[in-house]
Amino acid sequence: MDLTERKLKILHAIVADFIHSAEPVGSRTLSKKYDLGISPATIRNEMSDLEEMGYLTHPHTSAGRVPSDKAYRLYVNDLMGRYELPEEEKRIISENIQTNVMELENTIEHVAELLSKLTNLTSFAITPRQDTNKLKYINLLPVDEQTIVLMIVAEDGKVINKALRINVPYTLENLELLAKAMTQTYRGRTISDVLTLDIIKYFETDIEAMSRLAESIMPNFMKTLENMLNVDLYMEGLTNIFSIPEYNDIDRARMFLEMVNRKKDFTDVLVNRDNGVIITIGNENSNEIMQDCSLITADYRINGKLVGKLGVIGPTRMKYDEVTSVIKYMTDNLSSAFQITEGDFDDEE
Q: Which superfamily does 87-128+231-337 belong to?
A: GAF domain (3.30.450.40)
Strand partners, 148: 142, 164
- The residues near 170 (Cβ < 8 Å, ≥ 6 apart) are 142, 148, 209, 213
The pLDDT, as a whole number, for residue 13 is 95
Which residue spans of the chain are classified as CATH 3.30.450.40? 87-128+231-337
pLDDT in tens, 35-61: 888 998 999 999 999 999 999 998 876
If 0-12 CB within 10 Å is exposed, 13-18 middle and 19+ buried, where does residue 103 land?
middle
- Total-model pTM: 0.74
Percent of all residues in the chain with a pLDDT value above 70, rounded to a whole number: 89
For range 274-282, the mean pLDDT = 93
The pLDDT, as a whole number, for residue 199 is 52
User: pLDDT grade, residue 221 (50/70/90)?
Assistant: confident
User: pLDDT grade, residue 341 (50/70/90)?
Assistant: very low
Q: How many helices (H) and strands (E) does the chain have?
A: 13, 10
User: Is 5-79 CATH 1.10.730.10?
Assistant: no
User: pLDDT grade, residue 145 (50/70/90)?
Assistant: confident
Evaluate if residue 99 carries a pLDDT over 80.
Answer: no
Evaluate if residue 66 carries a pLDDT over 80.
Answer: yes
The pLDDT, as a whole number, for residue 200 is 47
**Higher-pLDDT residue of 215, 85:** 85
Q: Return the CATH fold of 135-229.
A: Enolase-like; domain 1 (3.30.390)
The pLDDT, as a whole number, for residue 59 is 83
Which range has the worst mean pLDDT, 46-60, 94-108, 177-191, 253-267?
94-108
If one counts every other C-beta atom within 10 angstroms of the C-beta of residue 243, the result is 9
**Higher-pLDDT residue of 159, 324:** 324
Which residue spans of the chain are classified as CATH 3.30.390.60? 135-229
The pLDDT, as a whole number, for residue 213 is 84
CB 331 within 8 Å of CB 123: no
Cα–Cα distance for residue pair 73/281, rounded to 1 Å = 7
If one counts every other C-beta atom within 10 angstroms of the C-beta of residue 72, the result is 25
pLDDT in tens, 153-166: 888 777 788 899 88
Query: Residue 144: helix, strand or coil by DSSP?
Result: strand
Mean pLDDT of the chain: 86
The pLDDT, as a whole number, for residue 158 is 74
CA triple 39-56-70, angle to 5 deg: 130
The pLDDT, as a whole number, for residue 294 is 96
For range 100-110, the mean pLDDT = 75
For range 56-79, the mean pLDDT = 90
For range 241-267, the mean pLDDT = 87
User: pLDDT grade, residue 232 (50/70/90)?
Assistant: confident
- The residues near 165 (Cβ < 8 Å, ≥ 6 apart) are 146, 147
For range 200-206, the mean pLDDT = 51
Evaluate if residue 102 carries a pLDDT over 90.
Answer: no
Cα–Cα distance for residue pair 133/225, rounded to 1 Å = 11
